[in-house]
Amino acid sequence: MNASLKYFFLFWIGLTAIALSDEPAVSDVAENEAARIAVIEKIAPSAASIFSSDGKGGGSGVIFTPDGFCLTNYHVVQPCGPYAKVGLNDGKIYDAVVVGIDPVGDVALIQLLGRNDFPCSPLGDSDTVRQGDWALVLGNPFLLAEDFQPTVSFGLISGVHRYQYPADTLLEYADCIQTDASVNPGNSGGPLFNLKGEVIGINGRCSFEKRGRVNVGVGYAISINQIKRFIPQLRAGLWCDHSTLGALAKSDSNGRPAIQDILESSDAYVQGLRENDVLLKFGSRRIYTVNEFKNALGTYPKSWRVPIEYREPDKSGKEMSEPKTIVVRLSGVHSETELMEKVSPKKKFDLSKLPPNLPPEQRKKIEEQAKKQLEGPVLPDAVKAVYEKRPGYVNYYYNKLAKDSTLKAWKKPEASKLATIKGLMEDGAAFTMAFTADGLTITLPETTIKTASAADWSVQSTPANAGFLAPALFAWYKMVTADDEFLKGLTYLGQFPLTEDGKMYNCLVSSYGGVKTEFYFDAQTGALAQIELFEPNAPSVPWTVTFSEFKDNFPTVIKVTYSGSTYGLFKVGEKDEKK
């Protein structure tokens, strides 16, 4: 065999081997493609194209419940007013009411109306997302989806735990997901999916600076696990705020995050955190830098309880103590007034500044525009039925629903059981609590503690060292025997954990007696587990009443604490066996 023929056969054998070796790979590619197409067909009906009520603007969203609750961005619904128009890939346009808004985290919740069987996609677990995972982006970039068929882009998760600074204090993207799947104007508010068809994030921002508003492969999505913490508040028609620890962090000599300054009024201080303490863990996450601390902090709502692990330095500042863990209630970034001012429309007509010689026709037109702005848009009947305007709320209708649902689930004890309660204190001393509509009297061996059912609870007839112990307990009586006036004053505050185990509780809040009182109900059993009453002159440190060991819906252990100290542990029904 000559050399040319020999090399030909060798070349042919090599090509054959390559072809044979590629057959499984080709098959895998085809299977992956088919699986990806099947997932897209499944999730596409849940992708929403969102427009303002006048049909202008545009953004995206994703439906995650059959009754039409849909996630999107705050900056998408901001120009919409109380309601929006939403197109789905069935070619239909639906009215949607704005339910709740998180302007700091750039998230909004709307509800599509007219059906109770909307196509929806499940929410995934963004904590499992890793750099290099495949991802799908669905939405309406550049408003291309004129028939409401969403555009699909495919790419990698190119980064996790990214941080995008806010504009002032709004639109902060903490712990967000970065993807190179195309995200463009119009994709805002749309879903980021994993290949299982689960929503792992809500797209919102891109790195456009100095490049024009076109995709350059760097888009950011708000992690779905952050959003999950806010969903109960969003569903309750609230303006949501994010959290602050009430302390600043700095890098110590080893680059670790250490407390630089801390407010003595903060719960973190009350629980024992001090300057120069080194943070080791925030929530479920290990933190090694100040940036990681800020990134984790930005994902929590106001009033959330977070376990914090830390070490104290010794007097020399060199050696560290054994790790300590505390559970801290986080404060809000804004006051309620400040948040309302930031989200309120800035442009308002001032008719007093119109030129006096303005033509009558032009003046009339401006006056009509001012009237429309004041009155707001004319709502469709479907939206009117589920929208109630009230200062401090996005949509008060949904807050009433959340309150009523919480009260309905509560397994309330019989009011007669609260008439007289007897038992022993932790030290064995006997106590008697006598509740009446006029107030509460607690009788102890050496003293009597009283509170009156007055309009102003800041004026009490209790001993000075008893503080607000009696009003905190009387709040329990008021809830159990609640009349219409008391119930009307309750509003839904959200759903939060109270302890390190992460168990969730629905919170109702009252301003009865001139003080703020929060009632926490077990989200699974409905039991009233805790009451927190805030003194007017100490608004960040509550008097806490904790109920446990229930028998026939009635607690047999009642613990009252304040600022880390126990003011009373009452064991209901126990008798002094010494007698």
Report, as residue numbers or ranges, the catalytic residues.
Answer: 75, 106, 188
Phi, psi angles (nearest 5°) of residue 52: -70, 170
Distance CA 59, CA 48 (A): 8
Measured in whole angstroms, the distance separating CA 215 from the mean position of its chain's CA atoms is 30
Distance CA 522, CA 504 (A): 7
Tokens, residue 259: 């407390």
Longest dimension (CA), the chain: 117
Residue whose tokens read 């492969």:
217
Residue whose tokens read 């109702």:
508
Beta-carbon contacts of 354 under 8 Å, excluding residues fewer than 6 positions away, are 363, 366
Distance CA 290, CA 292 (A): 5
Beta-carbon contacts of 226 under 8 Å, excluding residues fewer than 6 positions away, are 105, 126, 174, 175, 299
- C-beta separation of 219 from 179 below 8 A: yes
List beta partners, residue 448.
443
CA distances in angstroms from 273 to 281, 312, 382, listed in the order given:
13, 9, 51
- C-beta separation of 423 from 572 below 8 A: yes
Q: Closest Cα partner for 106 from 76, 142, 83? A: 76
Q: Could you give the angle at which helices 396-409 and 224-235 cross, rounded to 10 degrees?
A: 90
Phi, psi angles (nearest 5°) of residue 503: -60, 140
CA distances in angstroms from 135 to 42, 65, 127, listed in the order given:
15, 22, 15
Question: What does DSSP say about strands 516-522 and 134-139: parallel, antiparallel, or unpaired?
Answer: unpaired
End-to-end CA distance of the chain: 116
